[in-house]
Structure 1
Amino acid sequence: MTTLRDDLTTRAAYVSDASIYRRLPEAVAEPRSVEEVRELLATAREHGWPVISRGGGTSVAGNAIGEGLVIDTSRYFHRILEIDPQARTARIEPGVICDQLRDAAAEFGLTYGPDPSTHSRCTVGGMVANNACGSHSVAWGTSAANLVSLTVMLADGRLVTLDAGGTSDPALTSQLEQLRDSHLAMLRTELGQFPRQVSGYGLHYLLRENGFDTAKAFAGSEGTCGIITELTVKLVPRPAHTALAVMGFEDAIAAATAAPTFRVPGVTTIEGMGSDLLEALRTRPGQENAGGELPRGGGWLYCEVAGDTPEAAFEAARELPALARDAVVDAVVVGDPVQARALWHIREAGAGIVTRLPDGGEAWPGWEDSAVPPARLGEYLGDLYALLDEMGLRGIPFGHFGEGCVHIRISFDFNTEAGVAQYREFIERAAELVHRYGGSVSGEHGDGRARSELLGTIYTPEALEAFARFKRIFDPGDVFNPGVLVDPEPLDRGIRPGPGARTFDLTPVHAFSGDGGSFGQAVNRCVGVGACRSDTGAMCPSFHATGDEVHSTRGRMRSLAEMLRGEHITDGWKSKETYEALDLCLSCKACATECPVNVDMATYKAEFLHHHFRQGLTSFVGRDRRPMAHLTMGWMPLLMRIATAVPGSLRAVNFLERFGPVEALTKKLGGIEPRRSMIRFNDIPLTSWFRSRPGYDDAAAGPRPASDLPGSPGSGSRGLGQRGLAAGRALRRGLRAATGAAREGERAASSSSAKQRPSVVLWPDTFTNFSADGPGKAAVEVLEAMGYRVLMPMGSVCCGLTWHSTGQLDMTRRTLRQTLDVMAPLIEAGYPIIGLEPSCTVMLQHEITELLPEDPRAHAVRGLTVTLGEFAAKHLEAGGDWPFDTLETQSGPGTAVCQVHCHEKAQGNYDPALKVLGELGVDTAVVGGGCCGLAGNWGFEPGHYEVSQRLGERNLFPMIRSAQPGTIVLADGFSCRTQIAQGTDAEGVHLAQVMRAALRAEK
């Protein structure tokens, strides 16, 4: 029997999908087999619960939520049972992800045709249930059109098979035949009138001329008639080659009007968008210059063309603009897949981008998915814009223009009763509008709770009666997804962001500058499109490891929203349920950029922990005390500073922790995961080493470069050491220190010439300063060789990262203010601040102004801070001295496996570092995915070890193990290097150490 999850933590995560609606389920279950589904239905009958089927939960119409038992097939019920390349079919379980099926079919030169924008996380079972389509439906049609057969479990536990010709149950077949014969005229005149008419049930498939296809009729039933337990779907040949024609028009209406012109053989997509979508895209971080590849115009059509050869595809695409010569303003035709991908990114990002308007205002689904006959789309779109203007609403239409389908999210105000009333008025008027054009209120995502009430506007009473009869044939007890399609719930009932969504919204510590200073507004960012459930990219690592909705970014956002609502999670910031949901968040920040609406869960978690626990050292005593790891890891900068006041203390700690019992006791007392190895410390801090160097000028806070000072890279340097690059050594044993050319003599330099050398500040972060000074010493030598005068702050400085990640925000702000006081002269001088530890660098480049928005020095530091890679790349571009040789090892030119720190990947830019490595002759392979799995203090906390190791094994560890002997393992992050050392036989090194190894002998 599958586990029934009725805890509030889980139920809160499933409270919504990608819609505006909210329903708290009684329980959630994740079956592994048909028999477990049957047992779950029996449990639901016993408790009197309705049953809701759920796949990826990406429905925008509220199809996958309910107040009974939610059966989630996405986590375990997802096997591909058989692919038949001859028949071009696949037999699968309902939880198979669309991309999972497409990847499996690719082995045979085939693919699954439907491809909605959520193809990386939506399940095929859910696609069939909602009759999803996607951008290639011009060529391959809807999910219904690509369906061969279904196996469905009814409420009493019976399994029936549906296909062309009937069902496996004679009585059921007879009832469906009677239904068809009673409504022949209506079925032929009201349903199936154009490709994207998917509202209601697809009863036209029951007609004899359509093969009495009961499977296709069941498609689009939105979980209201039974639970799909197995599907057989069609596969289609993958185009051998494609080319893309992007055509510019005067505006989106002109593009929509011209779209049907391009429905010609070979064209597989006709996608449309307007300049308003491009404007919205340009407001997103890193997208400020997006769209430069587009042709001139105010509206665009994307037409992909298939061909047997690249030349044939390109030539066919090149001929398309002439089909609408009078309307096309400009056109771009590309055959190169990389160029095509860059153009497609603009259009495909639309589903997430338009959840926020260009000015940052909220935009919501509801009228998300209307469709009309393609020939009438231009007129309909013009009237839709007029209706928006009349009612003072804003939205950004885009969509499948070639099939008459328009996606739009609109600036509804759900915070007031008047705003909700306006929502209803708009939806009702829009339904009347689409009906005048012979259209459908839904074009691919189903009707759900958003549009089922509107079926009476577009269909006759006879059609509605036929729908109700179809539902009763399969589900006479109204067990499955009640309130959808038949006997619909009011479209304005139970709106998630509606009035009463927040019982409280305390003033947060962070500025939340992108959300008007409101934590609640920040939580409203998540509309549930589920990009955090994708198996590609860096977001969300804990979901990648567990497959649990609770531990997805979306699941956490739902818990935070329920906390603010206060209806079921009633403890506010003290909520144990929300704490549990946030526990596996690694604070990797991948969501801050990969989420379409830039949800920043690391910040939200820090804010929550700040309010959840008391502040200061007193928070580590009492009943509701913090985890002890928040003290040992969070207060590390201060604890290390205190320890170094006693000469030799760090050396003594290293010595004592060599003894197993001592290390075990230390971990137990410090609340550290027992399977972790304790980190080691430098004999003396980097800053002490720096100030002890000959020529150090105390007044100038840095050393005079009067001579090229000899010296080792020091203790803590592992991998690339004093003598250059390790060469020819097996990677499994890691890179060891190797010998290089010794420096000869000292370079004389006058004091006056030293002052002329440009000055830079090297940031002595806690990890480099106290635990791994090799990168710091290497950076000093490299920067001096490049012609710079290296400075370090005179007093103790810290970015506050460890306090921030553990939610000790008062201490974070206090630390940052003290740091700014120490840094004041260097800030005023405008010296570049070079960070070596990526997480600390990102703190100075981003969080500092959110925590100290009123301090101009914080904004100055943000502008001055760069990574070593960024600084070196700019130095190179400016034609500065480049004192490096091409890096060579005994096995040949340098090669490296690069683990990009998750914070740098999310909110920084690693491209400059790759450019520098390229100049050094290092051939790089960047590890895919995101966080290494350690994530600073998170990986050292008990309860996280298994997930941490699972994430390491996802990409990082296998790539290191499979690398050739002598390969450099490059990881700028201290956490990343620690994870590598504790999970493999390799030792990671920093970019600074690679650069130092490549210094010319005379330098």
Structure 2
Amino acid sequence: MAVGELVDALTAAGLAPEADRRRVAEYSYDASNYRVVPSAVLFPRSEAEVATALAVCHRLGVPATARGGGTSMAGNSVGTGLVLDLSRHLHRVLAVDEAARTVTAEAGTVLTALRAAVHDATDSRLTFAPDPSSQSRACLGGAIGNDACGNHSVRHGRTADHVESLRLVTADGLRLTATRRGVEATDPDDAAAAARAEHLTVELRDLAAEHLAAIRTELGRIPRQVSGYHLRHLLPEEGFDVARALVGSEGTCAIVTAATMRAVPRAARTGLLVVGYADVVDAARDVPAILRHRPTAVEGIDEVIVATMRQRRGADAVADLPEGRAWLFVELDDDGNDDDEHDGEAGGAGGGLEARMAGLADELARNGHALEALVVTDPVTRADLWRVREDGAGLSSRLTDPATGATIESWPGWEDSAVPPERLADYLAEFRELLARHGLTGVMYGHFGAGCMHIRITFDLRSEAGRAVFRAFCTDAAHLAVRHGGSLSGEHGDGRARSELLPLMYSPEMLGAFEEFARIWDPAGLLAPGGLTATRPIDADLALAGVSPGVGRRDLGLLTSADGAHPVQACIGVGRCRTSAGGVMCPSYRATGDERDSTRGRARVLQEVVRGTIAVDDPAVEESLELCLACKACSSDCPTGVDMATFKAEALHRRYRRRVRPRAHYSLGLLPLWLRATVRVAGPLNALLATPVGRAAARFGGITGERALPRFASARALRDELARVPDSVWHLRDRRGKGRRGSGDPAGARTSAEVVLFLDSFTRGLRPHVAGAAARVLGGSHTSVACSAGHCCGLTHVTTGRLDAARRTMRATARHLDGIRGPDGAEVPVVVVEPSCAATLRGDLPHLLADTPDADVARRVAARIRSSADHLGRLAAEGRAPAWPGGTAPDRVTVQTHCHEYATFGNRVQRATLTALGVGSVREATGCCGVAGDFGFTAGHEAVTAAVAEQALAPALRADPDAPVLTDGFSCATQTDHLGRTGRHLFELLDPARPEPTSPAPDATVPSTTRRPS
């Protein structure tokens, strides 16, 4: 059927489907290996709209697939026909009943939001138990569809164990409610729904009666048997539990629009024991002994994931671990029991929590295979360790070899098989042998306590030969799992990844019962075909099939991989960019809630570019990238290391090469060039820009009229600042290295110094007072400082996609800085005042000049670059910290860390430095400020800029109106000023010539900014 007919029919029914190239590209993928292009996408606002849409699809014979966070690793949430994204609007928590221990929520509710609502309503006495690693973006409907589990499943089981009732819409648009005793019409007055409920009841009872023996012997054999349909819940001894029978049906029977779930008591205290092992097999051998202690979680990772996390996010991203090459995270709670149903069981009691932790550690050391065990008490360290485990799916897809530092590309495919925990070690040992026979390697992590392993494997899905190996291996692995009494899927469902292999696990009778169950609910087979129904081969629809190798290595992102792989394909859809809290990524998605504005959504569009289905200058690409702030947070926060700022730079480079650009690219994108001239006419120019004529000229240049423009500094202002520095500061004022001493005396051509202070274009032309502060602070801490003030990092060229100009600028800067050395030619640090410029010189410089004669120069210079906070933190660690003016550090500071510094120098650099410098309390506004270079000054971005500011910065400013505000980034300082406070650079706070601070007015407040744009 033509797409236009579907769109017209849905529109005529009062709905708003979208079928443009960009939107379809965003929804052609989930977190699996598969790509299936839908006809259209719909964002229903109510259950009634879901029913209307399905009625239209049923009438037209169009397939329909429901989707939440799109985090499915088995291809469960992609499909032809219509995709219904329930996460956009159907995300309300409807009720929390503490007395009944239940919570009711719509299907699009994110699991962490659901859990937070339960905590708030019960004063943290109850919690929602299922906690898959994707819980910060996965939705309730998806957890029900796949029967998700999570880290604490050894205590709380699967999602199915917590379902009380499900609100459903059938394939033909009827609204039903499945309960633990049957199925009924949601609206008792709906005669058609009541008739359907009665018919379903008869057929489902007949199905269970006909296959009693097979259901009882083949289903429910192990805790993590997720594969197939959960027909055992229809048995008489289960009370004809239709609600739980539908869990794990992957949207093939009906679409869940809301659910009532059980809540469970929340432990008052938990303890974490980290145990080191020689390898994952040894770790698995200790699992049965650990389970006797009734842990709440037993999770495992290996050394490659740890190395990748440290390489991507800094050495301090993972705490010191016990000796070993694989680790188990064992969590115990304060009494070993979670509710009354466990009363009287052995293994729960045995002393206080600390004694139980110590006893388990001692037992594993004496009788087990452990090399070392460590009790982790610090809550921050515990949170960091759990994040390593939770990011395993992304980290393991783009690994760093701990021996060579090389990147290893791995994929799902045999993602979450499960076996009885007591057989896990033998299964893993044989699994490693199977990998070796097929010439593959795999990274193993996951739910050791439940016998469920997540394994990322080095499949070659790009070549026909590699795909043949993929099929052969998965078939052999299925046989192996079945031989060990296991399930092909233990958590993520079967989907397109495993449904074809179900005949290896189940008898023909059981498979026939599965087919009949699906037919009873959806006779036409329109819901989510391709997985459990209308099964596709496991090697069909693979996303990497048909993608040609890279055609060049000239540019930054899309086409720069030496092995022919496209770096943008590092996005595998794990969806951490869709979170609403934690980290910085992705500020635009958090502002709009639209998949278009997520890092993942943009990556999917660019993946279509490298496939050749969308041209790089297609409006779809421009729409996708329009609200990307180029903040670079994704390069750090994304578990696979997707750097959308880099990809955007290349896309702009290709789109606008030899074409007229947007006006803001000339006014703001060329700002460093304009600043060379503004220093000569700063006074008159500032006066002009304050007039209506000046403001009109700015708007003509694409600059928003809702934000005050920064004041330009004169050349004299910079000269005056640099004249008030110690004699140890040498000012290198031109590109030949010649200059003069800070006091103004001739300095000849001296270029030897203990440290180089790089004054970027923004600091020279807009914040000369920061330049003076930096020179004074460094001059007081070093014997000699070379002050470089004549070059540019090329940042604005990169962000506007002028990559050729960026290379020219960077080449000159790199050669200049490479020539400034310490005594005897030593490579001394280069401290860059503006953190975004520091990040550009550290990260983009070596990439852009990688295939040029200056590649070695670029690498040398990049290795020397430090941000201000990075350098001052090192000085503090060496006992050389500069003194605070007045001799006393502030008792508290509010910090807005620049996104580029966060991504490039580590997310703890500001806090660690302030703490080392003696600041008592540090409040971090962890999030983008909303300006992000030219983004906040560009017309059309006002609402998003304001909404992003409300994510972290504005609330932090309101929380403590008296604390000094640290804003090393010029953009951050500008936004802080816009919000009614004054931001200071760290060098300003430490400046020995700093004037006494003035207290803000008693009623000083930060205004609340615009809410999320529609």
Q: What TM-score results when the alignment is normalised by the length of structure 2?
A: 0.87
- Could you say which residue in structure 2 is the equivalent of 1:722? none
- Could you say which residue in structure 1 is the equivalent of 2:934? 937
- Could you say which residue in structure 1 is the equivalent of 2:1002? none
Q: 1:292/1:824 Cα in 2 relative to 1: closer, same or farther (>3 Å)?
A: closer
Amino acid at match of 1:327: G
Query: Does the 8 Å CA contact 1:53/1:72 hold for their aligned counterparts?
Result: yes
Q: 1:973/1:210 Cα in 2 relative to 1: closer, same or farther (>3 Å)?
A: same
Where do residues 446-845 of structure 1 align in structure 2 (5 Å cutoff)? 446-498=493-545, 500-502=546-548, 505-510=551-556, 515-516=561-562, 520-536=565-581, 537-567=583-613, 569=614, 571=615, 573-615=616-658, 619=659, 625-644=660-679, 647=680, 649-659=681-691, 661-684=692-715, 688-689=719-720, 701=738, 703-704=740-741, 759-793=754-788, 796-827=790-821, 830-845=827-842
**Distance in 2 (alpha carbons) for counterparts of 1:626 and 1:211:** 67
- Could you say which residue in structure 1 is the equivalent of 2:95? 82
The equivalent position to 1:320 in structure 2, one of 344, 360, 365, is 360
**Distance in 2 (alpha carbons) for counterparts of 1:679 and 1:436:** 70
Query: Does the 8 Å CA contact 2:893/2:965 hold for their aligned counterparts?
Result: yes
**Distance in 1 (alpha carbons) for counterparts of 2:916 and 2:473:** 59
**Distance in 1 (alpha carbons) for counterparts of 2:385 and 2:913:** 28
The runs of 5 or more residues in structure 1 that have no matched partner are: 620-624, 710-749
The equivalent position to 1:976 in structure 2, one of 956, 972, 993, is 972
- Could you say which residue in structure 1 is the equivalent of 2:191? none
Amino acid at match of 1:657: L
- For residue 194 of structure 1, report the CA deviation from its aligned partner: 1.0
- For residue 327 of structure 1, report the CA deviation from its aligned partner: 2.5
- For residue 273 of structure 1, report the CA deviation from its aligned partner: 3.6
**Distance in 2 (alpha carbons) for counterparts of 1:606 and 1:698:** 31
- Could you say which residue in structure 2 is the equivalent of 1:414? 461
Query: Does the 8 Å CA contact 2:53/2:173 hold for their aligned counterparts?
Result: no
Could you tell which deviates more after superposition, 938-947 or 500-509?
A: 500-509
- For residue 751 of structure 1, report the CA deviation from its aligned partner: 11
The equivalent position to 1:443 in structure 2, one of 490, 500, 515, is 490
The equivalent position to 1:349 in structure 2, one of 391, 406, 409, is 391
Amino acid at match of 1:155: A
- Could you say which residue in structure 2 is the equivalent of 1:155? 171
Q: 1:441/1:886 Cα in 2 relative to 1: closer, same or farther (>3 Å)?
A: farther
Amino acid at match of 1:58: T
Q: 1:927/1:415 Cα in 2 relative to 1: closer, same or farther (>3 Å)?
A: same
- Off by >6 Å, runs of 4+ in structure 1: 511-514, 691-700, 754-757, 998-1001
- For residue 494 of structure 1, report the CA deviation from its aligned partner: 0.8
- Could you say which residue in structure 1 is the equivalent of 2:331? 304
Pair 1:195-2:226 in alignment: no
Q: 1:665/1:341 Cα in 2 relative to 1: closer, same or farther (>3 Å)?
A: closer
Amino acid at match of 2:575: G
Amino acid at match of 1:784: G
Amino acid at match of 1:340: R
Amino acid at match of 1:653: L
Amino acid at match of 1:125: G
The equivalent position to 1:145 in structure 2, one of 145, 150, 161, is 161
Deviation by residue 1:945-975 (Cα, 9 ceiling, x = unmatched): 111110011221122133233x212111111
- Could you say which residue in structure 2 is the equivalent of 1:963? 960
- For residue 783 of structure 1, report the CA deviation from its aligned partner: 2.5
Could you tell which deviates more after superposition, 577-586 or 247-256?
A: 247-256
- For residue 248 of structure 1, report the CA deviation from its aligned partner: 3.3
Pair 1:102-2:148 in alignment: no
Could you tell which deviates more after superposition, 873-882 or 987-996?
A: 873-882
- For residue 455 of structure 1, report the CA deviation from its aligned partner: 0.9
Q: 1:16/1:641 Cα in 2 relative to 1: closer, same or farther (>3 Å)?
A: same
- Could you say which residue in structure 2 is the equivalent of 1:34? 47
**Distance in 2 (alpha carbons) for counterparts of 1:144 and 1:845:** 49
Q: 1:770/1:428 Cα in 2 relative to 1: closer, same or farther (>3 Å)?
A: same
**Distance in 2 (alpha carbons) for counterparts of 1:792 and 1:152:** 68
**Distance in 1 (alpha carbons) for counterparts of 2:307 and 2:920:** 38
Query: Does the 8 Å CA contact 2:553/2:562 hold for their aligned counterparts?
Result: no
Amino acid at match of 1:253: V
Deviation by residue 1:569-592 (Cα, 9 ceiling, x = unmatched): 2x2x22221221111111111111
- Could you say which residue in structure 2 is the equivalent of 1:729? none
Query: Does the 8 Å CA contact 1:242/1:335 hold for their aligned counterparts?
Result: no
Query: Does the 8 Å CA contact 1:456/1:464 hold for their aligned counterparts?
Result: yes
Query: Does the 8 Å CA contact 1:164/1:211 hold for their aligned counterparts?
Result: yes
**Distance in 1 (alpha carbons) for counterparts of 2:100 and 2:993:** 58
- For residue 521 of structure 1, report the CA deviation from its aligned partner: 2.2
- For residue 929 of structure 1, report the CA deviation from its aligned partner: 3.2
- For residue 642 of structure 1, report the CA deviation from its aligned partner: 3.5
Q: 1:351/1:820 Cα in 2 relative to 1: closer, same or farther (>3 Å)?
A: closer
Deviation by residue 1:244-291 (Cα, 9 ceiling, x = unmatched): 223334432232233123223641112234445445545544248946
- Could you say which residue in structure 2 is the equivalent of 1:183? 211
Amino acid at match of 1:204: R
- Could you say which residue in structure 2 is the equivalent of 1:375? 422
Does the residue aligned with 1:487 lie in a helix, a strand or coil? coil
The runs of 5 or more residues in structure 2 that have no matched partner are: 1-13, 185-196, 337-349, 997-1014
Amino acid at match of 1:467: F
- Could you say which residue in structure 2 is the equivalent of 1:622? none
**Distance in 1 (alpha carbons) for counterparts of 2:306 and 2:879:** 36
- Could you say which residue in structure 1 is the equivalent of 2:868? 868
Q: 1:513/1:689 Cα in 2 relative to 1: closer, same or farther (>3 Å)?
A: farther
Does the residue aligned with 1:369 lie in a helix, a strand or coil? coil
Does the residue aligned with 2:642 lie in a helix, a strand or coil? coil
- For residue 350 of structure 1, report the CA deviation from its aligned partner: 2.0
- For residue 821 of structure 1, report the CA deviation from its aligned partner: 4.3
The equivalent position to 1:207 in structure 2, one of 226, 235, 243, is 235
Deviation by residue 1:655-684 (Cα, 9 ceiling, x = unmatched): 11111x213321232121232322220122
Deviation by residue 1:962-1001 (Cα, 9 ceiling, x = unmatched): 3233x2121111111111222x111211111111168799
Does the residue aligned with 1:398 lie in a helix, a strand or coil? strand
Sequence identity of aligned pairs in percent? 40
Deviation by residue 1:455-477 (Cα, 9 ceiling, x = unmatched): 11110111111111111111111
**Distance in 2 (alpha carbons) for counterparts of 1:830 and 1:627:** 41
- Could you say which residue in structure 2 is the equivalent of 1:747? none
- Could you say which residue in structure 1 is the equivalent of 2:848? 851
Query: Does the 8 Å CA contact 2:559/2:566 hold for their aligned counterparts?
Result: no
- For residue 819 of structure 1, report the CA deviation from its aligned partner: 2.4
Does the residue aligned with 1:674 lie in a helix, a strand or coil? coil
**Distance in 1 (alpha carbons) for counterparts of 2:649 and 2:833:** 23
Does the residue aligned with 2:328 lie in a helix, a strand or coil? strand
Pair 1:73-2:86 in alignment: yes
- Could you say which residue in structure 2 is the equivalent of 1:366? 413
Does the residue aligned with 1:11 lie in a helix, a strand or coil? helix
**Distance in 2 (alpha carbons) for counterparts of 1:38 and 1:430:** 40
Query: Does the 8 Å CA contact 2:278/2:324 hold for their aligned counterparts?
Result: yes
